[in-house]
Amino acid sequence: MGRRRKGDKVDGWINLDKPPGMTSTQAVGKVRRIMNAQKVGHAGTLDPLATGILPIALGEATKTVPFAQDRIKTYVFTVQWGEQRDTDDGEGDVIETSGTRPTKEQIESILEKYTGNIEQTPPKFSAIKIDGKRAYDLARAGEDVELKSRIVYIESLQLTDVRDDEADFEVICGKGTYIRSLARDMALDLGTCGYIKALRRTKVGPFDEKNAISLDKLEELDDIAGALLPLETALDDIPALAIKEAEMAKLKNGQALSFIAKPDFKRLEETGLQESNQTALALYKGKPIALVEIRGPEVKPVKVLNL
């Protein structure tokens, strides 16, 4: 007899507006307790300093987390000029100072350099693993942390305001981009030093401020199920394949479908699934059944959804 999970079977997404001073893990734990959910996960860590969009998956929605993590994200942030901190944000110790303050024109002149595919070295205080240990744990222990640079994607970077000692920006970027590194590198390019003073994530794919909810509001709700977004929210950019009842039964049992008849080929074509190695969401009467991969004439279940 299988071990029974604690909590209720809750499936869907909570688009949390994370408050400052809380880790992503703490936020997930709080949502889990409020929803009394058996299983939870999140789609992209936010630093304790940061606020904003933290999509939290519950139950079967955890199977769609990688799709949310890979989505384009939007951040607004403030860079404080004149100090470099060991964490590259306001929580660290000052390790360097500068009296240089960049002008609006100087800042705008370097923005293009930080768009497209760029090389970036993550902060020493990050969750990246080195020989099985988190970089931030090694850094806090006083060890010399050396992280390899990597290529990240920045769709756009805009300067939105300039003040004497700080400037505000908005960035739209891909997975793995560190905004703390972006602030640090821009400051160095401008002949000064700087760190992230404030950071807010305003969008992760389809999750944005319009459908977000705070922890306080979530705790106040009489019907917490009303705050749930459907599992397929994270899958709005992949094709949906309508299937028949017999096909649903096969997928539920982990069996692949063979689309060899002409009408089946037409279904794939109408769904935009003519090429191999494409991922789709199989639906039966509008209900998500499985994430499937198209391999020639074969439709193979990758993640079966038990809703």
Give residue-wise pLDDT tens across range 137-166. 555 655 666 668 889 999 999 999 999 999
Query: Measured between alpha carbons, how far is residue 264 from residues 100, 242, 247, 271 in Å?
Result: 66, 11, 12, 11
Contact of 199 with 179, CB cutoff 8 Å: yes
Q: What is the pLDDT of residue 295?
A: 85
Go through 276-295 and write b for each residue having 16 or more CB atoms within 10 A of its CB, e for each that does not. eebebbbbbeeebbbbbbbe
Q: What is the pLDDT of residue 136?
A: 56
At which residue do the structure tokens 């299988």 appear?
Answer: 2
Q: What's the CA gap between 31 and 21, in Å, rounded?
A: 16
pLDDT in tens, 242-274: 999 999 999 999 999 988 788 877 888 877 777
Contact of 273 with 232, CB cutoff 8 Å: no
Q: Which of 84, 80, 78 is nearest to 97 (CA)?
A: 84
pLDDT in tens, 180-231: 999 999 999 999 999 999 999 999 999 999 999 999 999 999 888 889 999 9
Q: Which of 230, 253, 302, 284 is nearest to 61 (CA)?
A: 230
Full set of structural domains in the chain with CATH: 12-69+206-234 (3.30.2350.10), 73-201 (3.30.2350.10), 238-304 (2.30.130.10)
Mean pLDDT across the chain: 90
The one-letter code for the residue type at 132 is G
Q: What is the pLDDT of residue 245?
A: 94
Query: Measured between alpha carbons, how far is residue 281 from residues 66, 77, 139, 194, 237 in Å?
Result: 14, 35, 42, 44, 10
Token duo for residue 152: 């990240």
Residue tagged active-site, from 17, 47, 88, 89 = 47
Q: What's the CA gap between 191 and 81, in Å, rounded?
A: 10
At which residue do the structure tokens 């100087």 appear?
Answer: 106
Q: What's the CA gap between 305 and 230, in Å, rounded?
A: 13
Q: What is the pLDDT of residue 266?
A: 81
Q: What's the pTM?
A: 0.90
Indicate the SS3 state at residue 180: helix
Residue 47 is a catalytic residue: yes
Contact of 82 with 192, CB cutoff 8 Å: yes
pLDDT class of 306 with cuts at 50, 70, 90: very high
Q: What's the CA gap between 83 and 247, in Å, rounded?
A: 61
